[in-house]
Structure 1
Amino acid sequence: MKTIKLVAAALLIAGSGVTPHMAQAQQLGIQRTDLLQHDLDVPGREVVQVRVDFEPGAVAAKHSHPGEEVAYVLEGSLEYQLADRTPVTLKAGETLFIPAGVVHTAKNVGSDKASELATYIVKKGTPLVVPVK
């Protein structure tokens, strides 16, 4: 059953025409919605803004970004684990700065949906999300 869900999700992503940024970031229980992608005045850099919705218990697998991230929790409670640092739990209205290249995870630790607004300042033309094993 799990394999069927994974294949269905892959087919949905492949056939939906989503942007490369969004297609790389979809995971079960997590929905990313691209809101903005715009060049900056700094050569080779762009800003990308996305809304990320987490179902209860959903975890974003270990990953990093090719630039800085500012996470703003819109609703619920999200636990962030940056590298080997102590995890931090943020509630609606709280923010977190994630430096470029820092491996991290995010998990919905509440009983309801949680959402964040993620703003990235990244190298243009590179994958937004870099998975880590």
Structure 2
Amino acid sequence: MATDAAPAAVHPTDELATTLRRTEVQRGPSSIPGREIVQVLTEIPVGVESGWHTHPGEEVGYIVAGTVEMRVQDADTVVLHAGDGFLIPPRRPHNARDLGPGTGRMLSTYIVEIGQPLATLTG
């Protein structure tokens, strides 16, 4: 049976998707050549860490719910609460840990290189 439907877009694997619940909200082209914009809702259970990782571009984030400890290489550790925003430079290793009492929820917008995995664990 023939169909006129376009094939679904294939996106590189996101290594954090095996550790945290990550829901892609939207994805689209950027005005910056070679970049796309990806928005993701990440849910981190109490006491769980994302693991040290990087992104192939900027991360602009907002804490929707919970309290999250954010550690970024070469920067002071900060504790973020619902309503706080954060910025992570491209390819800068960082780690997020939910401090509780409930599930932490972050909404992040990434401006990243097209065709690269959204997140890569660094060890």
TM-score by length of 2: 0.86
What is the aligned partner in structure 2 of residue 5 from structure 1? none
Stretches of structure 1 lacking an aligned partner (at least 5 in a row):
1-18
What is the aligned partner in structure 2 of residue 16 from structure 1? none
**How far 1:23 moved relative to its partner?**
4.4
Deviations 1:33-92 (A, max 9, x none): 011110112211100000000110010010011100011000000110000322101100
What is the aligned partner in structure 1 of residue 36 from structure 2? 46
Alignment of 1:22-41 (within 5 A): 23-28=14-19, 30-41=20-31
Pick which of 19-28 and 89-98 moved more.
19-28
| 1:56 correspondence with 2:46 | yes
CA contact under 8 A between 2:37 and 2:109: conserved in structure 1?
yes
CA distance, structure 1, for counterparts of residue 119 and residue 108 of structure 2: 12
- Paired residues in the alignment total 115
CA distance, structure 1, for counterparts of residue 14 and residue 122 of structure 2: 16
CA contact under 8 A between 1:35 and 1:50: conserved in structure 2?
yes
TM-score by length of 1: 0.80
What is the aligned partner in structure 1 of residue 3 from structure 2? none
Stretches of structure 2 lacking an aligned partner (at least 5 in a row):
1-9
CA distance, structure 2, for counterparts of residue 22 and residue 107 of structure 1: 22
CA distance, structure 1, for counterparts of residue 14 and residue 120 of structure 2: 12
Q: As a proportion of its length, which structure holds more helix? A: 1
Higher relative contact order (CA 8 A, sep 6+): 2
Secondary structure in structure 1 of the residue aligned to 2:110 = strand
What is the aligned partner in structure 2 of residue 99 from structure 1? 89
CA distance, structure 2, for counterparts of residue 125 and residue 93 of structure 1: 31
Q: What is the aligned-residue identity percentage?
A: 33
CA distance, structure 1, for counterparts of residue 78 and residue 12 of structure 2: 26
Structure with bigger gyration radius: 2
CA distance, structure 2, for counterparts of residue 31 and residue 22 of structure 1: 14
**Runs of 4+ that moved beyond 4 A:** none
**How far 1:130 moved relative to its partner?**
1.6
